[in-house]
Amino acid sequence: MLQSALEHYRRQQRITARGLVAARRSRGNLRRLMTAVITFQEAAAADAAESVGLMLAEQGINPAPLAEVRPESFSGVASDGRPLESLLELAGPGNFEMIVATQLRDAGRVAAGVALTVRPNAGGYVRMLNPPSCPRCAVLAGKWFGWNAGFKRHPKCDCRHIPSRENLADDLRTDPQLAFKNGQIRGLTRAETKALTEGADIGQVVNARRSIYMDEAGHRFTRESTTRRGIFRGGPRPTPEQIYRSAGKDRQKAVELLQRFRYII
């Protein structure tokens, strides 16, 4: 595993942990809570954007970007594009920490995706686990995704991107079956554990249960309208994932839209 990827994971974990502490202390005062979450969203985004270049360089891939990521563009907004304040207002005793942690992690993940998109020498990413992991994440461990592929995740998911080129991805891939043997998969039922112990394929076992992943990282075209050419008109700013879907395989178009909506400069 890349040293820069492991160090990035550890930094992101520290950012999330510190952000949760700050959020707990600010709970009950929405203005202070907003300030705390925005501060750590920006920190997560800045670290993720910088880490993409470091991970590419460690693989011998030219990390030169076409544009610079703006970390502040990933703060103050929720994962689904709504204002962060409206989401935090919905947080109750049972989901407060999950909501805050998810928003911090997503800020880092989305910023990493944008940092990857503006680096033409990176064709996509390999999905990296942060074990122990849930079964749904485990079966995606080490899979290759193109630069414009949405990052599927569930609340509390802490998986990350490792930017790379497809011809180098085999060196980064991990084995979900090995993760099971090492006790790094949590949340399996007794029946699933028994089947895997007897040699069943983990993909078939996990896919037999109903998936609860959010489509395209939880983002949908529900509040922005587009023309047939994919140009956004009216409504809130589109999320990067919506921009990727609008641009399709046209990377230059994606970069232009990311610049237009101030995710990059």
40 in Cβ contact with 18 (< 8 Å) = yes
Report whether 133 contacts 159 (CB < 8 A).
yes
Q: Which of 36, 2, 1 is nearest to 19 (CA)?
A: 36
In the beta sheet, which residues pair with residue 264?
69
Taking the mean position of all CA atoms in its chain, how far away is CA 228? 28
Burial class (CB in 10 A: 0-12, 13-18, 19+), 260: middle
Q: What is the 3-state secondary structure (H, E, C) of 130-189?
A: CCCECHHHHCCCCCEEECCCCCCCCCCCCCEEEEECHHHHHHCCCCHHHHHHCCCECCCC
Cα of first residue to Cα of last residue in the chain, in angstroms, is 31
Give the distance from CA 191 to its chain's centroid.
30
Q: Calculate the alpha carbon distances from 46 to 35, 51, 128, 253 in Å.
A: 17, 9, 19, 23
**Distance from CA of residue 84 to its chain's centroid?**
17
Along the 265 residues of the chain, how does pLDDT read in single tens digits? 789 999 999 999 999 999 999 999 999 999 999 999 999 999 999 999 999 999 999 999 999 999 999 999 999 999 888 899 999 999 998 999 999 999 999 999 999 999 999 999 999 998 887 777 888 888 888 888 999 987 877 777 888 888 999 877 776 667 777 778 888 788 888 888 888 887 888 777 776 654 444 433 333 322 333 333 344 444 578 999 999 999 999 999 999 999 999 999 9
Distances (CA, A) of 57 to 86, 119, 132, 163, 235: 39, 12, 28, 10, 38
Which residue in this structure is represented by tokens 């509390």? 156
Per-residue model confidence (pLDDT) at position 222: 29
Q: Residue 234's pLDDT is what?
A: 47
Question: Residues 181, 202, 13, 51: what is their CA dihedral angle, to the nearest 10 degrees?
Answer: 110
